[in-house]
Amino acid sequence: MFAGISGGALMTTISGCKQILLFKLNDKDFGFDVSCVREILLPQEIYPVPKAPEFVEGVINVRGHMIAAVDLRKKLCLKDVQSHPHMRIIICHVRRFIVGVLVDDVREVIHVSQGGIMPAPGILNIQMDNNAVWGIVRDEQKVIMLLDLEKIFTNEETQEFSQMKNA
């Protein structure tokens, strides 16, 4: 396991530590700050939306609310793979909107001290044309890219998510 990192409950920070929700995409480890996470859902029917961006799979019905379902692999230009048996939908706040993010698997919530988060190398964000990767956590066994959803999606894209719920 990570030095100075332990699993824990879904909260934002505890004694100077960030809480990170770990998930998998194409067998690689990624994480979101839990402050943007609302809930985690099992896979469900996704209803296609005509003329949606390529990375938007459609909308899902969450207790009567239609929410855009986004394939994070496509948005991050990762290799597209078959649906993973442990796929989950992470419901997140992005600016003033709510979006469902499709991931291959949700692992756990970890606590990471501020000193345990390294800045992302500049080349990563040049390639992604924004600051989508805000940090990296690593140990001898794995590297976790910490993603910022507000930087991954443009203002225009989040506005489209809002319009999709009315589709």
Residue spans of the domains in the chain: they are: 6-164
**What single-letter DSSP state applies at residue 1?**
-
Q: How far apart are CA 150 and CA 167, in angstroms?
A: 23
Query: Using an 8 Å Cβ cutoff, are 87 and 100 in contact?
Result: no
pTM: 0.81
Strands 17-25 and 133-138: unpaired
Alpha helices per DSSP H over 55-143 = 72-75, 122-128
Dump pLDDT digits (tens) for 71-95.
998 888 887 766 677 899 999 998 8
Q: Indicate if the pLDDT at residue 10 is higher than 80.
A: no
| 6-164 has CATH 2.40.50.180 classification | yes
> Does residue 106 contact residue 43 with C-beta atoms inside 8 Å?
no
What is the average per-residue pLDDT within 125-140? 71
